[in-house]
Amino acid sequence: MGNLFDLTGKVAVITGSSSGIGAGIAEVFAEQGAHVIICGRTPKRAKGVVDGIVAKGGKASFHALEAKDEASIKALIEDTAKEFGRIDILVNNAANTTGHGLTDVKVADVDTEVWDDVMMSDLRSVFLACKYVIPYMQKQGGGAIVNTGSTGAAAGNRSQSAYSVAKGGIEMLTRNVAYQYGKDNIRCNCIRPGLIIHGRNDRLAPQFMRDIFLKEIEVNRYGCPRDIGYMALFLASDEAAFVTSQIIDVDGGMFSHAPQNTPMNEAEVNMTAQ
What are the helix (H) ranges across 97-147?
112-119, 125-140
Give the predicted TM-score (pTM) of the model: 0.91
Question: Per residue in 174-193, is it b (16+ CB within 10 Å) or e — as a string?
Answer: bbebbeebeeeebbbbbbbb
Contacts of 241 (CB under 8 A, 6+ apart): 187
Count the alpha carbons within 13 Å of 9 in the hemisphere toward its beta carbon. Answer: 2
List the one residue out of 200, 187, 176, 170 whose CA is nearest residue 241: 187
Q: What is the pLDDT along the chain (274 residues), one digit of tens a residue?
A: 468 999 999 999 999 999 999 999 999 999 999 999 999 889 999 999 999 999 999 999 999 999 999 999 999 999 999 999 999 999 999 998 655 666 888 999 999 999 999 999 999 999 999 999 999 999 999 999 999 999 989 888 888 899 999 999 999 999 999 999 999 999 999 999 988 887 666 566 677 777 777 778 888 888 899 999 999 999 999 999 999 999 999 998 888 877 766 665 665 656 566 5
Tell me whether residue 132 is one of the annotated catalytic residues.
Answer: no
CATH for the stretch 11-273: 3.40.50.720
User: Of the listed 163, 179, 222, 230, which one is catalytic?
Assistant: 163
The order of strands in the sheet holding 186-193 is 59-64, 35-40, 11-14, 89-92, 143-148, 186-193, 247-250
Helix (H, G, I), strand (E, B) or coil at 172: helix
Helix (H, G, I), strand (E, B) or coil at 260: coil
Question: In whole angstroms, what is the distance from residue 253 CA to residue 221 CA?
Answer: 11
